[in-house]
Amino acid sequence: MISEPAVAAPDVDDATALRLVSCNILAGGSVKRYRDYVTHSWKHVLPTGKRANLDGLARVIGGFDLVGLQEADAGSLRSGFLNQTQYLAETAGFPYWSHQPNRRVSRLATSSNGLLARRQPDEVLDYPLPGRIPGRGALWARFGHGTDALVVVVAHLSLGAVARARQLAFLAELIGPYQNAILMGDLNTPAHSTELETLYARTSLVRPAHAPPTFPSWRPTRALDHILVSRTLEVERLWALPYPVSDHLPIAASVRLPGARAALPKG
């Protein structure tokens, strides 16, 4: 779903640089050490403190053009029945947003992918990802038409290697036909893993020169969150944002779009 503009879009010039950020927000939850998963487990089913965490994140992402979210609550008890994707879009001043609910546990919790955008996508689709346990998805958006179109996919992959391999094969089918593509999300695997090497071989996406660690947020040692781009696009900078909104750090990128300039007209 794409909303109508919540606020006027900021004036953006014709520069071809695109600023992106992706983050697993854990429904706005805060984790500062491994034992918090157990000792603070009650916070994951109640809305305590989550809106304040989202307000802080909104201030961080306000300077970006596209934001991909994973584990955003779509409106349940743990979020105070707040659609967190919509809330972040409106609080950070993004005129367009879309979300893809993937998993619901009664009225206690929901989980969804989200996309916040400064420019309106021309098409948005959502796909369930294959897996033995349902509840994973990919949110697909297209900006522009024809060979200059830019396709952006937000995904949250499974913890198990077998399921991830199936999901990456599915993503390769979605991304393969496009020469200008971006995949961002919590992929739960390193950028140089065998699973992702298969994705690089079947699409225009390329292995990043370096992969900043994003997990765990309090002492990041593992690069599980990624922004992967096509070989037609130039990554000027790729870095982790030092804002521990959840158990993951957000990952950000500045990407130059020489081949997809026409795909991103002014908002």
pLDDT single digits (tens) 45-90: 555 668 888 999 999 999 999 999 999 988 776 666 789 999 999 9
* Cis ω before 216 (30° cut-off from 0): yes
Structural domain boundaries enclosing 100: 17-263
- CATH code for position 86: 3.60.10.10
Q: What is the pLDDT of residue 109?
A: 60
**Could you tell me if residue 42 is inside a domain?**
yes
Both tokens of 37, joined, read: 């998963």
Q: What is the pLDDT of residue 6?
A: 41
- When comparing pLDDT for 112 and 28, which is higher? 112
CA distance 62 to 65: 8
CA distance 95 to 9: 6
Q: What is the count of structural domains for the chain?
A: 1
Q: What is the pLDDT of residue 28?
A: 67
233 touches 254 (CB < 8 A): no
Per cent of the chain over pLDDT 90 is 63
Q: Could you report the per-residue pLDDT of 154-208, keeping only the tens digit for each? A: 999 999 999 999 999 999 999 999 999 999 999 999 999 999 999 999 999 999 9
Q: What is the pLDDT of residue 222?
A: 96
**Could you tell me if residue 12 is inside a domain?**
no
User: Would the pTM of this model clear 0.95, i.e. be above it?
Assistant: no
Per cent of the chain over pLDDT 70 is 79
**Could you tell me if residue 8 is inside a domain?**
no
**Could you tell me if residue 196 is inside a domain?**
yes
**Could you tell me if residue 199 is inside a domain?**
yes
**Could you tell me if residue 55 is inside a domain?**
yes
Tell the burial category of 38 from Cβ atoms under 10 Å away from its Cβ (0-12, 13-18, 19+). exposed
**Could you tell me if residue 11 is inside a domain?**
no
258, pLDDT greater than 80: no
**Could you tell me if residue 156 is inside a domain?**
yes
